[in-house]
Amino acid sequence: MEEGWDLAIRIGRLKDSSLVARRLAACRTIICASPAYLKQHGIPQTVDDLAQHNCLGYTLPSVIGANRWAFGIDGDIVVPIQGNLRANNGDALLAAAVAGQGLIYQPTFIVGDSLREGSLVPVLSNYPTYEPAIHAVLPSGRQAPAKVRAFVAFLAERFGPEPEWDRDL
């Protein structure tokens, strides 16, 4: 906001600040892998089984990190992971997982199409994953321009209670 932006879209827990946030949608996350990877390495049955798998780590989030994955709605169950690839880009991890390189823990808006087409399959579905929210964040202390308010309203309506990317999963 110091740089003059009118709006930011943030995923995750928001820190207390002077910014104004509007929740736009849930950000469902899922652990998945390619059928080929699972055929070769087996399907993990418990979170403890993750220690025996190549877990592709995402380096950006603070709760689900490159060396640990969080379970439970609030991310209060943390499981250490290891693997041979770390990236700060979900699409790069998606490509690696589809190619059979390992398990990924990503939002459904990244992996949804691959799950629907079968190039990835969900695993550990009986363990609730951390589900951050997607927020529109605006500076406080001033009225947002009409175009920004309209855009935020559009996003909230478009995403709705069940975002399009979660349908049919």
Among residues 38, 29, 27, 28, the alpha carbon closest in space to that of 120 is found at: 38
Tell me the torsion sign for CA atoms 68, 73, 74, 77.
negative
The predicted pLDDT at position 2 comes to 63
pLDDT digits (tens, 9 = 90+) for 46-80: 999 999 999 998 887 655 667 888 888 777 888 99
Q: Assess contact for 123 and 43: CB atoms under 8 A.
A: yes
In this predicted structure, what is the pLDDT of residue 61? 63
Extract the tokens encoding 73: 């709605």
The predicted pLDDT at position 16 comes to 64
Q: Do domains 8-26+132-160 and 29-123 have the same CATH topology?
A: yes
Q: Enter the pTM of the model.
A: 0.83
Strand partners, 123: 31
CATH superfamily assigned to domain 29-123:
Periplasmic binding protein-like II (3.40.190.10)
What's the pLDDT tens digit per position in 90-120? Answer: 999 999 999 999 999 999 999 999 999 999 9
| CATH 3.40.1360.10, applies to 8-26+132-160 | no
**What ranges do the domains of the chain cover?**
8-26+132-160, 29-123
